[in-house]
Amino acid sequence: MKKITIIFAFIALVFTVSAQYIPEHISYTRIYDFIDELANDGVIELTSVTKPYSKEYIAKKLLEAQEREAVLNKRQQQELKFYLNVYALEINRLPDTKWSILEREKITITTLQPAIYYRDSLFRAYMAPLLGMQVWAKSGKAVTQRWYGAEFQGMIGKNWSIYGSLRDISIRGDLLSKPSYLNNLPGYEYKESQAGGDYSDSRGGITYSNSWISFGLMKDNVIWGDNYHGSNILSGRAPSFPMLKLQLRPVKWFQLDYFHGWLVSNVKDSTHYSMEDTQAGVTKKQYGMANKFMAANMLTFIPIRNLNISLGNAIIYTEPNVQPAFFIPIAFYKSLSHTLTKGTGGENGNSALFLNLSSRNIKHLHLYASVFADEIKFSRFKSSDPETNPVSYKIGARLSNFPLQNLSLTGEFTRTNIITYKHSVHAATWASNSYNLGHYLGDNSQELYGAIHYKPIRGLDVELSYSNAKHGNEYQYIRGQIRNIISQPALNEITWSNQTLSLGANYEIIKNTYANLKLQYSNIQGYNLTSAPIGGEVREDAQGYLDLFTPKFYQGKNVTFEVGLSFGF
């Protein structure tokens, strides 16, 4: 009887501890930068390997910083005050604003940004319209993007949350983001037209959370891997996809992140079709897409304060239905796949391993490194073996508020070997909606990135950045040719290069209201190759590579100007 009482007491504790989980979308880069800055300065501790953070987690870190407000500089104190008001509902109060048209005990309605806030003993909610426009212009040409929509979030009781958003996005001019383009812009599955393209971006979810666990069903973007200019594990660039997501924080020194996702293969399934009447007496087969699923975990250990060691693995698989074994949060998925598919005579799973290191043990300095391994054979590390492992690695550092206040310096180097992220089974590539889930440059590439970031006043960010990116020979994953392909020297020949220097300013005027300006010089070129092609190589001329990897708008040498204004993101 005593044991039963203890069990029921434990269950009651689990389901009554108050916590909410609503992810803060990765597009709100200013709050992510501010939380990161506080951690780099040693004001708070932070596990930054997986994003998005929950809004409640952000609010918790802001409250921790408030306890040490005396060590913050003047601009940081103003930022902290601003963000504590942004996350007022997560702190269980209504926001303070001078732009309200209605203020009552339970409800506040504001005009800038237009929003409705509600709070009572059971339910806290927020709803706001979204509106924005971005213009890219150069001599004689322009691209315009506009969006409108709305977002909603609700926190029910102590543990349940719901959220949702819808953005109708329209591009007029060249489409700047396509699956083959080597840039860091968000990926969209456009309905293309001669004028440009349109896309409807819907995200949302329902979650349960307490002080040590959160899980839910959601459709959103994810970033895994510490970075400031594109992760090489999960970059978040692909369109959002539905997933079952779990996060555990049972002790201070351990965190588990897991999700099982439903990806978009963009590969037609010849066994799955519907009949459509196209005209009298004439029918046509409409084929569906092959199923594509993904399971991934990341285990983070914190052996000492400010040192995070993260290990994880993932699999993308193409079974007719979901495989229950891949719902196990802590599992080695490649081993499971070998057991489940033995005897099929082929592979229908694409596995990967992750390693991420993050150190903020030196005050003001964040050192980090990440490795994505598609496959590892230790014999390939020998100099006598011409084959190279399909891996990607990133190393980087950010120095914040030293030696000058409000100034940060960032440097990153990313290198990705041949065939990394690809697979011989088209539906099993490391991609969704054909957008690579890993680094935006894809395989056989490297990038050197540097930035100076200055924040003179609350809300204003000024950044000067430079990137030098290169892409080598382009290969398909041909199973019978793979050993010869990975024996080719990485970046032996350059098919494409991009050197970009940009100066931009971004000002968050009030909550969720942005104005931004950017002046950018870019030199993006394609190259003719002189060597003989090998089996599996995609061979183009210089213009062919340029068209494959770069929108027309950015090809060659260009000076471009960007300007934008948005309510919401």
339 confidence band (pLDDT: 50, 70, 90): confident
* Lowest-confidence pick of 61-70, 198-207, 267-276: 267-276
Is residue 13 very low, low, confident or very high in pLDDT (cuts 50, 70, 90)?
very low
pLDDT at 151 over 50: yes
pLDDT of 343 reads 60
Q: Give the pLDDT of residue 178.
A: 96
pLDDT score at 347: 63
Percent of the chain at pLDDT > 90 equals 83
Q: Helix count (H) and strand count (E) of the chain?
A: 7, 30
* 430 close to 233: Cβ distance less than 8 angstroms: no
What span, in angstroms and rounded, lies between the C-alpha atoms of 125 and 108? 11
| Phi, psi for residue 9 in degrees, rounded to 5 | -65, -40
Q: What gap in Å lies between CA 470 and CA 388, rounded to an integer?
A: 19
How many Å is the Cα radius of gyration of the chain?
24
User: Averaged over 448-469, what is the pLDDT?
Assistant: 98
Q: Which residue has the tokens 């440097």?
A: 411
The stretch 274-283 carries a mean pLDDT of: 81
Helix (H, G, I), strand (E, B) or coil at 96: coil
Check pLDDT > 50 for residue 16. Answer: no
Q: How far apart are CA 8 and CA 559, in angstroms?
A: 66
Q: How many domains does the chain have?
A: 1
Note the helical H segments in 138-257: none
SS3 per residue for 154-173: EEECCCEEEEEEEEEEEEEC
Per the CB < 8 A criterion, the answer to whether 505 and 453 are in contact is no
State whether residue 271 is helix, strand or coil. strand
546: pLDDT confidence band, cut at 50, 70 and 90? very high
At 563, the pLDDT band (50, 70, 90 cuts) reads very high
| Tens of pLDDT, residues 23-34 | 999 999 999 999
Q: Domain for residue 1, yes or no?
A: no
Q: Does 429 reside within a domain?
A: yes
Question: Does residue 7 lie within any of the structural domains?
Answer: no
Half-sphere exposure of 69 (CA within 13 A, CB side): 12
* One-letter amino acid of 290: A
Q: What token pair was written down for 361?
A: 């043990």
Q: What are phi and psi of 353, to 5 degrees?
A: -115, 150
Q: What is the pLDDT of residues 39-77, one digit of tens each?
A: 999 999 999 999 999 999 999 999 999 999 999 999 999
DSSP state of 504: E
Which residues fall within 8 angstroms of residue 198, CB to CB, at 6 or more apart?
Answer: 168, 169, 170, 171, 190, 191
- Give the domain CATH number at 435: 2.40.160.130
Residue 251 lies in a domain: yes
Q: What predicted TM-score, i.e. pTM, was given to this entire model?
A: 0.94
pLDDT grade for 345, boundaries at 50, 70 and 90: low
Token readout for 500 is 């970009």
Mean pLDDT rounded to a whole number for the chain: 93
pLDDT of residue 568: 73
Residue, of 140 and 146, whose pLDDT is higher:
146
Whether residue 412 is contained in a domain is answered as: yes
Question: Residue 10 falls within a domain, yes or no?
Answer: no
pLDDT band for 18, please (50, 70, 90 cuts). low
How many Cβ atoms are within 10 Å of 231's Cβ, its own excluded? 27
pLDDT score recorded for residue 9:
41
Judge whether 475 and 491 are in contact, CB under 8 Å. no
Could you give the percent of the chain with pLDDT greater than 70? 95
Mean pLDDT, residues 98-103 taken together? 81
- Rounded to an integer, the average pLDDT of 199-213 is 96
CB 466 within 8 A of CB 501: yes
Domain of residue 66 covers 15-567
Looking at the domain assignment, is residue 90 inside a domain?
yes
**Four-point Cα dihedral 21, 311, 488, 437, nearest 10:** -10
Q: Of 197, 149, 194, give the one whose Cα is nearest residue 176.
A: 197
Q: How far apart are CA 566 and CA 560, in angstroms?
A: 20
CB atoms within 10 A of CB 27: 13
- Specify whether the CB–CB gap between 410 and 228 falls below 8 A: yes
Question: 370 with 231: CB under 8 angstroms?
Answer: yes
- Residue 110 in contact with residue 511, Cβ under 8 Å? no
Distance CA 354, CA 372 (A): 5
Q: Per-residue pLDDT for 140 more than 90? A: no
pLDDT at 341 over 90: no
Residue 269 confidence (pLDDT):
85
Q: Does residue 83 belong to any structural domain of this protein? A: yes
Cα-Cα-Cα-Cα dihedral of 339, 340, 345, 348, to 10°? -120
Over 80: is that where the pLDDT of 11 sits? no
